[in-house]
Amino acid sequence: MLQKLLNGLAIGSVYSIFALGYTLVFSILRVINFAHGAVFTVGAYLTWALTGPQVGANGALANSQLPVALPFWLAAVLGALGAGLLGVLIERAAFRPLRRRGSDPLLTLVSSLGVAIALVNVIQYLVGAENYSLGTLGGSVSIAGATIRRTQVAVFIVSMIMVVALTWLMNGSRTGAALRAVSEDAVTAQLLGINVDRLIWVSFFLSGFLGGLAGTLIGMSVGIAGPYFGIAFGLKGLAVIVLGGLGDIPGAVVAGLLIGVAEAFVPGEYSAYKEAVAFVVLFLVLLVRPQGLLGRVQIQKV
Amino acid sequence: MRHTARRTAAVAATALFLVGCAGEEKKTGDTGGGGASGDPIKIGVAVAKTSNVALLGQEQVIGAEIAEKFFNDKGGVNGRKIDVIIQDTAGDENGAINAFNALIRSEVVGIVGPTLSQQAFAADPVAEAAKVPVLGPSNTAAGIPQIGKYIARVSSPVSVVAPAAVKQALKDNPDIKKVAVAFAQNDAFASSETKTFQQAVQTEKLELVTVQTFQTTDTDFTSQATAINAKAPDLVIVSGLASDGGNLVKQLRELGYKGALIGGNGLNTTNVFPVCGKHCDGILIAQAYNPGYDNPVNKEFVTAYEAQQKKKPPQFSAQAFAGVQVFVEALAAMDTKEKLSGMKLPDLRDKLNAQIIAGQYTTPLGPISFDPEGEVKQAEFWVARIKMGADGKAGEFTIVP
Amino acid sequence: MLDALRSYDALLLQMVVAALLALSLYLPMMAGQLSLASPGFYALGGYTAATMSKGVFAPPADGSFPVSALLLEMLAAGLLSAALAVVVGALALRLSGIYFALATIAFVEILRVLSLNLNITGKAIGIFGIPQPFGDKLSYMWVALPLLIGVMLFVRRLERSRVGRSLLAVREDQLAAASMGIDLTRTKVLAFTLGGTLAGVVGALDAHVLNTWNARQGTFDRSILLLAFVLIGGTRTYLGPVAGGLALTYLPEWLRSRAEAGVLPSWVSTFIDEGRFIIFGVLLTVGCIFFPRGLITPDLLKRGRRFGRRKQQPRPDVTPDASPGTPVTRGADA
């Protein structure tokens, strides 16, 4: 029982931190950034690249030794920062031009999808599709009779630190207040003298940073399983942010943990259906509480 | 209505025009299929260079490229060079069909491919209709050679080797009683391989305590690992691919599993080493290829591969190499009887197909031949044990005698 | 010409299928609903045809398979998809905008996991060796092309019919439509069901074309690709999705043919070959930015028609920007 709960929380914390980046952008722009899964992947690969590894047998850089060899923690921070910058670049390339024209918000689904396809294939083009390992933190610890892997504890702790930091940023800083203002009502925020473009920029940076860090954390726990390894999280992340209430930051955290736990409690003989749990939950939640778990009913303005 | 008709016609015409343009790029047809005696003989390879099965496909590309150089250095087909043309199938059925068609347009004598069994079910009929011989390098599902007369494969369905691996585990530890099985449910190969394993478990009168499933795209296996550990098995059998299978092993070990492990054929690649690291040590692997296999062609293949990649070749590379090799040797055997340069392409393909089935080949996979349907008959299989180096990075497959 | 066509038979069929599936996404979009459910119905249709053709219609020993059986399967797949679409639509269409879209994604995923687990769908390996009604692939065009043209004519008629105008009214302004007496839910469910039915019919056809069917046919990736067809092609006329489907399916193969044509420097060829999905991704993004209303817009058609009559150069389009047709909404309702 406790074992399942811990397993669920460990994977759930990953869903949460992944979904945070998604939901942050949604809260500001009301669009889904499909490139988030790719940013997550890039974050993991950047960290890996900065630890000075040997590239595998495929891709344009096959068999070369990468020049920069930093300690893991520094590489992880720089990797996340790099992913943050990538987030900003994506905003400039795929979101801003469309926003300026006042295009259909749906179009950003496709423009960000294009970025995702390109990024994943750039990785593959450069370093091939092989598995790479990231960091070494083996073994497990026992908590009240339940066993849990050390990396999972580390992932859980870092995720929760990130959640707390983000919550503080949103609720305790000027930037956070401005972000919340924009997410409530962008037009009014602009009238109040808030530089909306700058805040969008900030939210993409934060989103990319969190996504990249999540990629590194997962990579540390399970290795980097090729350029597509963030995509699976992308889909599940959608379920998480809806369950949490689109754009709702605490909601996303709770929802991520809940879906993780729900999956962990699927009985062994039905483990084949585990993959569908998140989506059955998503479907049911949408029908019963479309505003999400913690959300309040939004009144549609006409 | 008139506008509609006109507009619809315009769209249809545009479609035809686009395709027509593409068609004009290359002359099609079968003029002088054997080609002049100086032209290289074209052998097609259609595997996944992109998409999420690229990990397997790129190993096949390396194997095919090494084969091209290797046989050309040896004089090609009785002095005539071979030209290995590689087309990307990506990961889906349509991509495989398109790659096959592109190769057929390039007038290849035959095709090695595609990567996945599901792709083979869609693309092989295309080659069958065009009467182009196909050798599946990694399609292990039941029913592939039965697709048609021109379809054969060099990848053996591993029903032979699975029981051997279980027997070996029992030899290591005769006290094994309880067995847990896990397999990748969305992978065609893993889900058929697991049946063979489960049968072997029954034959050996062992108790199957749990069957866990996962997806090849999964990364977190703690719930499966916990469920397995809860049953305290003495042996765990994993059928999956490198990253998922490797992660399951790693997480199982980190969560305290101490017993024996058997990995299916999908784990027979050096790609699992970075995933499970030092925890890979000791896994018994059911192999259709072993880099340490002692025959001259394998030694040369391994040397060539190591010179280029600085590690031992994986099974997928060896199978792609064997695919090209079968074509080259069958062509050489035909050429000795009747000069290839005199033959029209359709005739050549037809005779080549018959020759492939008739021949015997000594490949890096050991001696292989084909039954009349095109099913491979592989003489040797191996059970290997993974031995990891002290740093937990480099490892090797040592044959268990 | 026929030989050249034959060598591109599979690609031509893929293009037609893509256009049809793009239309199946376009139909609910006519009522303003972003549905990503098409791959789910497409998969269902394919499984229907696969199981029927290997079961009730199992061909005699000589392997002959009548075209009428194929048509019956397409009918059955359409009916089954329609029934499911009514149920799913009635449930999910209480949601709107992005919430509805996400519910349809969940629908596709649930069907995918089910088909990986059920015996009747052949689990991971799927169903293969599906009987062939035609001797060659190109002959499938006798079914596929009339289907495409028929659906195009149908959608065109629909756009001008009373029902169609009520769909468009719901897209433009739900409140106004409701106040005119249009039953919103019924209208949306109708559009969704039309789309689902079409996708099911196409799936049945494609199962025979591909000769095999498995859980990888109906995926989220496919949903997004179809959405790209529609949005790049254009969402304001039925010709948009058709053009988008045809063009974007052809594009990667065109890049492939460029790579192998041997006219480019070898490193460019290598890049195009191995990196063609990089180019595809970049083109999707660039396409959205420079053609935010899609390649085919009603304006373009109008000018094209004028051009056809007067044989004169059309004025270059300098402002493809926001028009009254695309209101700037912060809500995600399509």
B344-365 mean pLDDT: 96
Query: Chain A partners of C331 at a C-beta cutoff of 8 Å?
Result: 30, 300
Best of B62, B101, B134 to substitute, by most chain C Cβ atoms within 10 angstroms, is: B101
pTM: 0.90
Q: By the CB < 8 Å criterion, does C329 face chain A?
A: yes
Percent of chain A with pLDDT over 90: 36
Could you give the CA distance from residue A283 to residue A277 in angstroms, rounded to a whole number? 10
Confidence of residue C176 (pLDDT cuts 50, 70, 90): very high
- Token pair for C152: 């195009």
From chain A, the residues in CB contact with C94 under 8 A are 287
Specify the range with the lowest mean pLDDT, choosing from A293-297, B5-9, C155-159.
B5-9
Shortest distance, CA C166 to any CA of chain B (angstroms):
21
**Cα A206–A212–A214 angle (5° rounding)?**
100
Give the pLDDT score at A10.
Answer: 87
> Across chain C, how many H-helices and E-strands are there?
14, 2
**C11, C116, C261 member nearest B185 (Cβ):** C116
Query: Which residues 285-314 of C are in CB contact (within 8 Å) with B?
Result: 301, 305
**Range of lowest pLDDT (A121-130, A266-275, B87-96):** A266-275
Contact B226 A4 (CB under 8 A): yes
Length, in residues, of chain A: 302
- pLDDT the model gives residue A133: 87
Q: Which tokens is B374 given?
A: 């095109």
Task: Give the HSE-up count for residue B328: Cα atoms under 13 Å, Cβ half-sphere.
Answer: 28
Q: Which chains touch B (3 or more CB pairs under 8 A)?
A: A, C
The residues, any chain, with a CB within 8 Å of residue B303's CB and separated by 6 or more, are none
Per the CB < 8 Å rule, is C210 touching B23? no
Tell me which residue of B18, B41, B57 sits closest to B106, measured CA to CA.
B41
CB contact under 8 Å between C288 and A239, yes or no, is: no
Q: How do beta strands C127-128 and C212-213 pair?
A: antiparallel
Q: Is the pLDDT of residue B1 over 80?
A: no
DSSP letters spanning C219-252 = -HHHHHHHHHHHHHH-SSSTHHHHHHHHHHHHHH
Closest partner residue to A133 (CB to CB) among B210, B256, B275 is B275
Residue C329 vs residue A99, higher pLDDT: A99
Interface ipTM: 0.88
Cis? peptide before C327, omega within 30° of 0: no
* Closest by CA position to B109, among listed B82, B90, B88: B82
* pLDDT given at position B336: 93
Min distance C150 CA to chain A CA atoms (Å): 28
In contact, B87 and B32? CB cutoff 8 Å? no
Please state whether beta strands B82-88 and B41-47 pair in parallel, antiparallel, or not at all (unpaired).
Answer: parallel
pLDDT-above-90 percentage for chain B:
69
Task: Please state, in angstroms and rounded to a whole number, the distance separating the CA atoms of residues B100 and B88.
Answer: 9
Count CB pairs under 8 A between chains A and B.
124
Q: Is pLDDT above 80 for C318? A: no
Band of the pLDDT at B35, cuts 50, 70, 90? low
Q: What is the CA radius of gyration of chain A?
A: 19
Tens digit of pLDDT for each residue in C23-57? 999 999 999 999 999 999 999 999 999 999 998 88
Contact assignment for B275 to A124 by CB distance below 8 Å: no
Average pLDDT over residues B166-170: 94
pLDDT of residue C142: 95
Mutate which: A123, A127, A222, vs B, most B CBs within 10 A: A222
Residues of C in contact with B105 (CB under 8 A): 7
Report the relative pairing of strands B376-378 and B366-370 from DSSP bridges. antiparallel
Q: How many CB atoms lie within 10 A of CB B342?
A: 12
Of C114, C278, C322, the CB nearest to A122: C278
The stretch A64-73 carries a mean pLDDT of: 89
pLDDT in tens, A237-268: 888 988 888 888 888 999 999 999 999 898 87
Taking only the tens place, the pLDDT of each residue in B177-226 is 999 999 998 888 888 899 999 999 999 999 999 999 998 888 889 889 99
**Binding-face residues of A in 25-84 toward C, CB within 8 A:** 30-32, 34
Query: Which residues of chain A from 123 to 162 reach within 8 Å of chain C, CB to CB?
Result: 125
- Contacting residues of A for B233, CB less than 8 Å apart: none
Q: Which of residues 170-229 of A touch C (CB under 8 A)?
A: 186
Smallest Cα–Cα separation from C244: which of C277, C293, C209? Answer: C293
Among C140, C209, C210, the residue to mutate for chain B (most B Cβ within 10 A): C210
pLDDT of A212 higher than 90: yes
Closest partner residue to B23 (CB to CB) among C8, C132, C260 is C8
Interface partners of chain C (CB pairs < 8 Å, 3 or more) are: A, B
Tell me which H or E stretch contains A106: none
CA atoms of A17 and A15, how far apart (whole Å): 6
Closest to B259 in 3D by CA, of B279, B274, B286: B279
Q: Is C329 helix (H, G, I), strand (E, B) or coil?
A: coil
CA-only gyration radius of chain B, Å? 23
Q: Over range C285-289, report the average pLDDT.
A: 90
Residue among B1, B4, B108, B2 at smallest CA distance from B46? B108
Asked if the Cβ–Cβ distance from C292 to A104 is below 8 Å, we say: yes
For residue A302, name the pLDDT band (cuts at 50, 70, 90).
Answer: very low
pLDDT at A210: 93
* Chain B touched by C282 (CB under 8 Å): no
- Chain B residue numbers touching A228 (CB-CB < 8 A): 51-52, 217
How far is the CA of B313 from the CAs of B268, B319, B321, C165, in angstroms? Answer: 10, 10, 11, 64
User: Which of A4, A18, A55, A131 has the most B C-beta neighbours within 10 Å, making it the best mutation to test the interface with B?
Assistant: A131
Chain A partners of B212 at a C-beta cutoff of 8 Å? 268, 271
Chain C residues in contact with A238 by the CB 8 A cut-off are 102, 105
Determine the length of chain C.
334
- The per-residue pLDDT for range C49-101, each reduced to its tens digit, is 999 999 888 877 777 899 999 999 999 999 999 999 999 999 999 888 888 98
C-beta of residue B347 within 8 angstroms of C-beta of residue B355: no
- CB of A136 within 8 Å of a chain B CB? The answer is yes
